[in-house]
Structure 1
C-alpha cells in the first residue's frame, strides 16, 4: 500500500549538516519568521570534522582552535540553541518541486516544502574506483574519510603498515589517524615535485612523524588477495616501477562535490568545480535555491565553509524579504585558464555583495611561487596583481576580490590566469 508522506513546511530548508549548513542555520533561525530545518543523512551531524580527531578547527570562524569532534559538537549545539530543527539519518531522495524535496529516515518518508533551500552537501574524496587504479580488490583500501570513520567513530583496527596516496593537508591528517590506530605510514606518494600541503605541515610531518615522501610518483597497481600486500609505484619522470609492501592504502584528497541533488534539480553546474554555478550571493540558477561550502569549492577548510554559511544566511534573509532579484541570465561569467583549474564563485552580477571574506577561490595544477594574476575581459587585461603567497596544488589559492574592480559589468566573460 502506498502512503502519502507527511509534509513539513519550514521557511528555510538546509540540506547538509556540516559546518556550512549548521552555521547558516544558526544565523537564520533567530532572524526568519518560520522554521529553519536542517536535514543530514548521517546519524550524527557535524560533517567531516566529527571524525577528524585532531586540532586545527575553528580558527577563522570561531577565533579559537578546537579538535574536529569538539568543533562539530559546538556547531550542532549553536544551531539548536538558535532555534533550528535538525533531523539526522534523513536522506533526500528527489525533488518534488522548485523548493520541495522528499526524504526518508527511520521515522518514515516525508516531504518538505520550503520558501528557500540551501544546498550544503559538501564534497568527498575520489575512491580507488574513480581513480581507476587497477589490480586486485583486497580489504585494507580506504579514503581518509572512511579511515577516520573506522578509527575514531567505530574504534576498529586497521593494518600495520600503510601507503598514503596524496600530499595534501588531509593526507597528513590520514597519517595522524593511522598513527593513533597503531599503523605506521611507510610512504606518502605525491604526483607533484613537492608535497601539496603547507610547508610547515610538510616539515613537521617529515621531522615528527618520520614519513618519507615519494614525489612525482603514482600508484599503478594494488596487489593482494584477502588483504592488501603491496602497491606498485611508478616514477612519473623516469617511468621506473617498484613494489612497496604494505597492508593498508589510503587515498587522500582529489575532491569532488556531492552534487547529485544539484544535478537532479537541473541547476547550472560549473564545469571546473563540478558544483553548482553561483554568483557572489551564492544564488544558483534556480530562484530561491542557494549553495554553500565545499559543494562550491572542493575543497577548502571547514572554517571557510562555515563562513560561507554565515554569508549565505544574509542572502537568504534578503530573498525572503522580497528584495529585488537579478534576472537569471544577467551577469558576467568568471573563468579560469590553465594552470588554474577553477574559480569560485563563477558569476558576477552588478550590485551584488563581495563574495565570502572578500576572496575569490581558485585551484591551480602547478606551483607558482610568486603568482602574478591577470584579469582579462574581451581581449583586454583589466587588472594585474602580484600576490605575496604562492599558488600551490592541493590547496585553495585566494585572490582578493578587488582585482575585478576594473571590469565592464556589461562586457563578456572574464578570465583569470597566472602570468
Structure 2
C-alpha cells in the first residue's frame, strides 16, 4: 500500500444515490466522520437525470422532480457533516472493512469502523439480454436515454419501440416525447401491462402483450425490430430508429461479491437481515442493491434504517443471534430482507418486499413455517410483475424463533 493516502472514517458509504445520502445525513451528526464515495462526478444517483416529478413522497413528505430531489439529499448529507468524495471508484477490498479507491488525485485506502454498501441497481443492457440480430446504434436502456436527453440535451431519434410496460417503461415514454422522438409501440411478455392503468390511459401508447423482441435490424443505424407473439409464434417487423430496453433490473453487486458476502440467489444482491446487516461483521447494505428496483424514496428510507443499525453496531458491537431464513414461495421470485433474527427491529417501513412473476389481482398472502400455516391474509393491492409487492411485517407475528425457515407466498386467488 506504499504511496497511497489513507483515510480512517468511522463509517464509509459506497454510493451517493438516495440510500447512501440518506444514510450519511442520519449518521453524520452522531459519529466522528462519515465519508461517502461516489464514482460519478455528482452525487444523487439515478434521480439526477430523471427529470420527472414524483420523488420525495415517502421520505421528504413532498413531491419533487428528480434533479431537485437529488440536490436536496446531497445538501442534507453535507449540512449534517458528511464528506462527499465524487469521482472516487471503489475497486476492491484490502481488509474486512478497508476499501481500495481510485480518484483523480491518486490511489486511496479507506479504513472504516463500519461500511454501508449503497451501490444501487441497473437495467441489463442488450448484451446481457442476449437479443439476436445486428449491432446498430440507436439502442438504449432507460438510464442511457435519460442521461442523453436530460443531462446532455440530445435526441435519440424520431420513432421508438420500448421493450417493457412497467412504470419505468412509461418514464422512458415521457423522456422520448420530451426529446421529440415518437414512441410507436411498447411490448411485454406478460398478458397484461405491468404499469398502472392511469399511465396507460394518459400516455396512449399501444402495448403489445405476450410479445417478445427476437431480432434487431440495421447496420449502422437501427432500422426495425422483429417481434414474436409468445403464444402463437407469429412474427412481425416494426420500423423504428430507436429501441429502449427497460426494466430487467440487476443490482450493482460486484463490490459485494468481491467482499465474499453471502448473496441472495433471488435478488442477486447481498443477503441481509431486517437490520440490513450482511454476512460480514460491520458491513451493511441498503437501497436497490437489495431490491432491484424500487422507488428512490424507499431506497432513501432503507438508508436511514441501515444508518440506525450502524449506530447501534458502533455503540456496542455484538454477535447477532442465529437467523431464520425468509423464503419466497410461488409466484414470488424473491423476498428481502431474507433473514430474521429474534430481537431485531422490523425491516424498513415494517414491510417485506417481494417480486411477483404473475399478476394476482386479489392476493391472499400466506405465511408458512415448517408444515404449519401461520397466516392467510388478503391484501387490498395487486401483486404485479414489474413492481415491488409489499407485505406488512405484522403478518409474521406468529413465527416461532426456534422453528425452521419461513415461506411467504400466495394462496388461491384470481390470476390476471
Alpha-carbon distance between aligned partners in 2 of 1:213 and 1:161, rounded to the nearest angstrom: 15
TM-score (structure 1 length as normaliser): 0.97
Does structure 1 residue 232 correspond to structure 2 residue 226?
Answer: yes
User: How many angstroms does 1:323 deviate by?
Assistant: 5.0
Alpha-carbon distance between aligned partners in 2 of 1:336 and 1:205, rounded to the nearest angstrom: 34
User: How many angstroms does 1:154 deviate by?
Assistant: 1.4
Tell me which residue corresponds to 2:414: none
User: How many angstroms does 1:67 deviate by?
Assistant: 0.5
Instruction: Report the secondary structure of 2:68's partner residue.
Output: helix
User: How many angstroms does 1:297 deviate by?
Assistant: 0.5
Alpha-carbon distance between aligned partners in 1 of 2:307 and 2:152, rounded to the nearest angstrom: 34
Alpha-carbon distance between aligned partners in 1 of 2:121 and 2:52, rounded to the nearest angstrom: 20
Alpha-carbon distance between aligned partners in 1 of 2:202 and 2:277, rounded to the nearest angstrom: 40
Tell me which residue corresponds to 1:356: 348
Alpha-carbon distance between aligned partners in 1 of 2:4 and 2:44, rounded to the nearest angstrom: 27
Tell me which residue corresponds to 1:15: 14
Tell me which residue corresponds to 2:367: 375
Alpha-carbon distance between aligned partners in 2 of 1:130 and 1:202, rounded to the nearest angstrom: 28
Alpha-carbon distance between aligned partners in 2 of 1:102 and 1:240, rounded to the nearest angstrom: 52
Tell me which residue corresponds to 1:314: 308
Alpha-carbon distance between aligned partners in 2 of 1:136 and 1:389, rounded to the nearest angstrom: 42
In the alignment of these two chains, the number of paired residues is: 411
* Structure 2 unmatched runs, 5+: 412-416
Instruction: Report the secondary structure of 1:357's partner residue.
Output: helix
Does structure 1 residue 285 correspond to structure 2 residue 262?
Answer: no
Alpha-carbon distance between aligned partners in 2 of 1:165 and 1:310, rounded to the nearest angstrom: 34
User: How many angstroms does 1:158 deviate by?
Assistant: 1.2
Alpha-carbon distance between aligned partners in 1 of 2:197 and 2:206, rounded to the nearest angstrom: 15
1:185-223 deviations in Å (ceiling 9; x for gaps): 0101111111111222222222xxxx1111111110000
Alpha-carbon distance between aligned partners in 2 of 1:331 and 1:229, rounded to the nearest angstrom: 53
Give the one of 80, 83, 86 matched to 1:85: 83
Tell me which residue corresponds to 1:73: 71
Give the one of 162, 177, 181 matched to 2:175: 177
Does structure 1 residue 395 correspond to structure 2 residue 387?
Answer: yes
Alpha-carbon distance between aligned partners in 2 of 1:4 and 1:18, rounded to the nearest angstrom: 30
Alpha-carbon distance between aligned partners in 2 of 1:354 and 1:26, rounded to the nearest angstrom: 21
Tell me which residue corresponds to 1:41: 39
User: How many angstroms does 1:107 deviate by?
Assistant: 1.3
Alpha-carbon distance between aligned partners in 1 of 2:206 and 2:48, rounded to the nearest angstrom: 28
User: How many angstroms does 1:366 deviate by?
Assistant: 0.2
Alpha-carbon distance between aligned partners in 2 of 1:344 and 1:153, rounded to the nearest angstrom: 33
Alpha-carbon distance between aligned partners in 1 of 2:240 and 2:213, rounded to the nearest angstrom: 13
Identify which range, 392-401 or 318-327, moves more after superposition: 318-327
Aligned-residue Cα RMSD (Å) equals: 0.9
Give the one of 402, 405, 412 matched to 2:397: 405
Instruction: Report the secondary structure of 2:29's partner residue.
Output: coil
Instruction: Report the secondary structure of 1:103's partner residue.
Output: strand
User: How many angstroms does 1:403 deviate by?
Assistant: 1.0
User: How many angstroms does 1:338 deviate by?
Assistant: 2.0
Alpha-carbon distance between aligned partners in 1 of 2:388 and 2:247, rounded to the nearest angstrom: 12
Alpha-carbon distance between aligned partners in 1 of 2:291 and 2:80, rounded to the nearest angstrom: 27
1:111-135 deviations in Å (ceiling 9; x for gaps): 0000000000000001111111000
Tell me which residue corresponds to 1:337: 329
1:53-112 deviations in Å (ceiling 9; x for gaps): 010100010111110000001101110111100011111001000100111011111000
Give the one of 146, 149, 157 matched to 1:148: 146
User: How many angstroms does 1:251 deviate by?
Assistant: 0.2
Does structure 1 residue 252 correspond to structure 2 residue 246?
Answer: yes
Give the one of 188, 192, 199 matched to 2:197: 199
User: How many angstroms does 1:382 deviate by?
Assistant: 1.2
Instruction: Report the secondary structure of 1:57's partner residue.
Output: coil
Alpha-carbon distance between aligned partners in 2 of 1:254 and 1:245, rounded to the nearest angstrom: 24
Does structure 1 residue 275 correspond to structure 2 residue 275?
Answer: no
Instruction: Report the secondary structure of 1:179's partner residue.
Output: helix
Identify which range, 97-106 or 149-158, moves more after superposition: 149-158
Moved over 4 A (4+): none
Alpha-carbon distance between aligned partners in 2 of 1:129 and 1:80, rounded to the nearest angstrom: 38
TM-score (structure 2 length as normaliser): 0.98
Tell me which residue corresponds to 2:5: 6
User: How many angstroms does 1:299 deviate by?
Assistant: 0.7
Alpha-carbon distance between aligned partners in 2 of 1:177 and 1:390, rounded to the nearest angstrom: 27
